[in-house]
Amino acid sequence: MTSLNIQIVLDKSDRVGPGKIRLLELIAEKGSISEAARAMQMSYRRAWLLIDSINTMYGEPVINTRIGGYGRGGATLTDFGQSVIDDYRRFESECADLLASRHPLLAANGHRQKKS
Amino acid sequence: MTSLNIQIVLDKSDRVGPGKIRLLELIAEKGSISEAARAMQMSYRRAWLLIDSINTMYGEPVINTRIGGYGRGGATLTDFGQSVIDDYRRFESECADLLASRHPLLAANGHRQKKS
């Protein structure tokens, strides 16, 4: 099944794509940065840096933490953080619809005889 | 300026994105795999493997070579190869239009106060 991997490049070093979005979704689900990091097999530090980069990129925080700072005490998404996820998933699905409906050649429908 | 980096994932290992598309464009422009590879600072072997992966993925060749096989004798795109490029660039531009018109939050218009 054809899928997309879309990275939004705001600037050379400011990018948001499937990895950061998945991390935010896992934080929402687990209520914890360290548990989300573990689920993605990354260090707490790396998860923290990714979140910090999204905050800086959009100039608005995507998560709330319970005990001052980005502690291990628990984390929830801000409304803005939830909007970033929702909007990204909607955008991804709209692009997938475009690909399927208008670009069958690119989506390889009708090709890949050897594999189908 | 916000841009997109879109990878079409046909299968776990079958992907086409900006790198392979740029390589095909350079082959069309320079008429040579080795010159296209040099322009992208990759080895001839790596360029050859990337092209071969596109051929296999779509089950149809994207380039013609002059002297039997993928020699260094010169290469041009097949009509199919040109369609892959054109279609990818059209799709990319349609997705960029969608992002700008329907997802300003994601495109960070109005955010990034510190940087704009």
B94 — contact with chain A (CB < 8 Å)? Answer: yes
| pLDDT of the residue at B116 | 39
Q: pLDDT at residue A85 above 50?
A: yes
Mean pLDDT score of chain A, rounded to an integer? 88
With contacts defined as CB-CB under 8 Å, which chain A residues touch B85?
none
Let me know: does A73 contact A35? Beta carbons within 8 Å. no
| Phi, psi of A37, rounded to the nearest 5 degrees | -60, -45
What does B20-80 look like in DSSP terms, one character per residue? HHHHHHHHHHHS-HHHHHHHTT--HHHHHHHHHHHHHHHTS-SEEESSTTT-SS-EEE-HH
Which range in A4-13, A78-87, B100-109 is most confidently predicted, on average pLDDT? A78-87
| pLDDT of the residue at A116 | 39
Q: pLDDT at residue A29 above 70?
A: yes
A68 Cβ partners below 8 Å, 6+ apart? none
Provide the whole-model pTM. 0.87
Q: pLDDT at residue B111 above 80?
A: no
Confidence of residue A65 (pLDDT cuts 50, 70, 90): confident
**B41 against A67, higher pLDDT:** B41
Residues 25-84 of B with CB under 8 A from A: 56-60, 83-84
| pLDDT of the residue at B35 | 94
| pLDDT of the residue at A115 | 43
Report in angstroms the alpha-carbon separations of A95 from A22, B57, B76: 18, 21, 30
A13 — contact with chain B (CB < 8 Å)? Answer: no
Q: pLDDT at residue A12 above 90?
A: no
A66 Cβ partners below 8 Å, 6+ apart? A73, A74, A75
Whether residues A87 and B108 touch (CB distance < 8 A) is answered with no
Mean pLDDT score of chain B, rounded to an integer? 88
A101 Cβ partners below 8 Å, 6+ apart? none
Whether residues A5 and B3 touch (CB distance < 8 A) is answered with no
Question: Phi/psi zone of residue A59: left (φ > 0), alpha (ψ -120 to 50 degrees), beta?
Answer: left
- % of residues, chain A, pLDDT over 70: 86
Q: pLDDT at residue A68 above 60?
A: no
Residue with tokens 């059209």: B90
Cα B24 vs. chain centroid, distance in angstroms? 6
Q: pLDDT at residue A1 above 80?
A: no
Mean pLDDT computed over B65-74: 60
In three-state secondary structure terms, A5 is strand
Q: pLDDT at residue A77 above 60?
A: yes
